[in-house]
Chains A and B, each alone.
Chain A
């Protein structure tokens, strides 16, 4: 049993997401930074679909009544285990009656805590992730609050020992981040000049950014004509440009259909980087290709299997 001592600013249970129901208008939800989420699961020997805790900006605190193996990945929220600093991107044992406390993120913006076995909350449409705008999934469809009690699930996979991840697998969250973009499907609603502006400027993450989408501020991306299209599907990473000319990027809890022109899409692996930016951080967009995006996916999947093998060997 794990008791929430402090809720943090926005702490939810997430997993790979609720895929398969977008045709019914159901958002995917799931971890904003899938890389950190998956690596945390790998470090405790979990199945890939095990649920984790996602903390945002300001971390939470938990008390454990039994010994448990956990891993912490993603942004550095200066975690303390019984008042001793933990190592980010590692797995370790929390002793019986141990307390883990997180504070404000000093690097990145979202931190993931996986527990061996995952968190046992009810499956809703094949997923344990929380979609708070709809009050669906996770812990009663909402963010965790002080006093909430969590239980450990049975989503572990292979045996393993606590360990620290090595440098090549740990992303750095410094400086303006660069997000690679594939154009389409409505890039023809923008002039070359507008696209040059988009790719040549720095955009700031506004405080209107959350799990449903990232609203950016910067030089206006002008449409040739109108900004509206007939409502159609939108997807993770889709870059909508409403009439105000400010890019609006779809993230985990996004609605399934929208009616604004989409200039392009942030490639999937780079969404993890974006999830580690908070209000005030800067983003630069790089025009990329589908080949590059698919290769990046392939590389990421290879990283997962390498991490998994290393973990297994140690275990």
Chain B
């Protein structure tokens, strides 16, 4: 474990930023360190820290250098990293946010293409896609856009060469070995296999964002009737997202 600490790099991100880099690859093992540091930084709520930004393999801390110096912040973070080594990580159970998806048809126009490419039936693609929860490595690109990991390789399809304009919000797609959904209308290169009626964010709610980095998403197949039922509930503000915990399952 000590070796891991030694491989952590602290880098300068302007006078307001410090990058804590845990590794040079995308892996769940590295990302869990990112999420743990992020969690402890939130818990400790240190004066002078403005924002904490978890990404694939690093955490960027934005701070007010007139309140806390880089030196003080670095020491504070070193202490947390030591603390993390002693903590019982197994006790932590990430949230799993269930994402209902109506696959295929007009809501998922590329499902047939993906199935042909993967030499599977459309239903087999759906079964693979809904087979397990995916880790949210980070959010970025547009608000609430999850960078997910762990999609089965059987349904990986190279991205489209040219980005498509005006992809409807809620569209669920596959691009390379990545999957996810577009929270709002956007352009993008992914193949669209379905659509979810739920929203990744709603600024009218206190908890404006449905999920955060470190949570998991589990896609669930629904019929078109259920899709519209949930959509109406979402629009009326009465929809309650289904959330479980990873280790209950």
A interface list, Cβ under 8 A from B: 19-26, 124-125, 134, 136, 182-185, 230-233, 235-238, 255-257, 262, 264-268, 290, 293-294, 297-298, 301
Contact = CB atoms under 8 A, between A and B. Distances in A.
Interface of B: 11-17, 19, 21, 24-26, 38, 50-58, 60, 62, 65-66, 70, 138-145, 147, 184, 201, 203, 208-209, 212-213
Nearest to A301: B66
Contacts of A20: 50-51
Given A230-B57, A231-B56, A298-B66, A267 B15 contact: yes
A23 B145 CA distance: 11
Nearest to B70: A290
Nearest to B142: A25
Contacts of B143: 21, 24-26, 134, 136
B14 A237 contact: yes
A257 B203 contact: no
A19 B50 contact: yes
A233 B66 contact: no
Contact of A25 (B50, B66, B140): B140
B17 A235 contact: yes
Given A230-B26, A297-B65, A235 B13 contact: yes
11 contacts: A22-B62, A23-B139, A24-B139, A24-B208, A134-B184, A182-B15, A185-B19, A256-B53, A256-B139, A257-B140, A293-B65
Most buried by A among B14, B17, B203, B213: B14
B144 A232 contact: no
B16 A231 contact: no
B12 A183 contact: yes
A185 B226 CA distance: 48
Nearest to A26: B143
A297 B17 contact: no
Contacts of B212: 23-24
Contacts of B203: 124-125, 136
A19 B53 CA distance: 12
A268 B209 contact: no
A233 B58 contact: yes
Contacts of B209: 21, 24
A268 B14 contact: yes
A235 B15 contact: no
Contacts of B38: 23
A86 to B, nearest CB: 34
Nearest to B139: A25
Contact of B53 (A22, A136, A255, A266): A22
Contacts of B70: 290
Contact of A233 (B19, B25, B26, B184): B19
A232 B60 contact: yes
Nearest to A265: B14
Contacts of B213: 23
Nearest to A256: B140
A159 to B, nearest CB: 28
Contacts of B24: 230
A232 to B, nearest CB: 4
